[in-house]
Amino acid sequence: MNYDILGAKDGFPVVFGHGWGRDNQDFIPVAELLGDAAKIILLDFPGFGKSERPEAAWDTQDYADCTRTLLENELDITRFIWVGHSFGGRVGLRLAQMSDSPVAHLFVVAGAGVRRQIPLAKRLRARWRGWNFKRLKTAASTEEELIALEKRFGSADYVASRANGMRDIFIKTVEEDQSGLLGEIGCPTSLLYGERDTETPPEVGQLLHRLIPQSTYLECPEFDHHTILTRGRHQLTLMLREALGELGK
């Protein structure tokens, strides 16, 4: 797994896990603001950035296990703050659920990991679209026709997963529901969401807040799924500095 280490050499470790289809450069704005206060590890998950994809179709538990092995065996880091954006939030939830969890404080930024409560009418429309997609896909005679259908019916991440060879992992991870395991998280957890996020809307963070015992929830007006890391970098950095201060007491 590729990684970059920045910041204070002897500072408390803060590990950043990026979103699906992204890489560790997403956290540079926060790393630049936090560098004087912590040892910063920016990861490229297997299959993204400069890290090769796994040979098998991994789920988020596999990603969590691989990440922990890297941190402990290669970097000698056994306790850390985890900051996960989107997909990285899913992996962070897995790390925090472990009985001997190495996570001292969990930050989930615009993260998923639970099933949304979708109104009946919207569920029925989604089922119809899914049925229609399968019907048309069966009738497609060329790869070009199939790709056109995927672009018509699928999400941007679903479409991109064909080109980057991650379709099997995408389907496996996006269908996970960690709701029943979130009560096992024993570390302080901070949930940060953008009011205008349509990929992981605030209702996801609110549900996580209800299910995770020691959690706090903050919603930022005007921010969406990605600007929560750029325009919202000051808010996230402030929260991280507060968490570092608590750990230093």
CB contact at 8 A, 34 and 235: no
Note the pLDDT tens digit of each residue in 151-206.
776 777 776 777 778 999 998 998 899 999 999 999 999 999 999 999 999 999 99
What proportion of the chain, given as a percentage, has pLDDT over 70? 94
pLDDT the model gives residue 127: 74
Domains and CATH numbers, the chain: 3-115+177-248 (3.40.50.1820), 130-166 (no CATH)
pLDDT of 128 reads 73
The pLDDT-based confidence of 243 (bands split at 50, 70, 90) is very high
**Predicted TM-score of the model (pTM):** 0.89
Inter-residue long-range contacts of 222-227, CB under 8 Å, 24+ positions, other chains counted: 222/194, 222/195, 222/196, 223/194, 223/195, 223/196, 223/197, 224/194, 224/196, 224/197, 224/198, 225/19, 225/86, 225/110, 225/194, 225/197, 225/198, 225/199, 225/200, 227/194
Confidence bin at 148 (pLDDT 50/70/90): confident
Q: What average pLDDT is seen over the chain?
A: 91
- The predicted-structure confidence for 46-59, as pLDDT tens digits, reads as follows 999 999 999 999 99
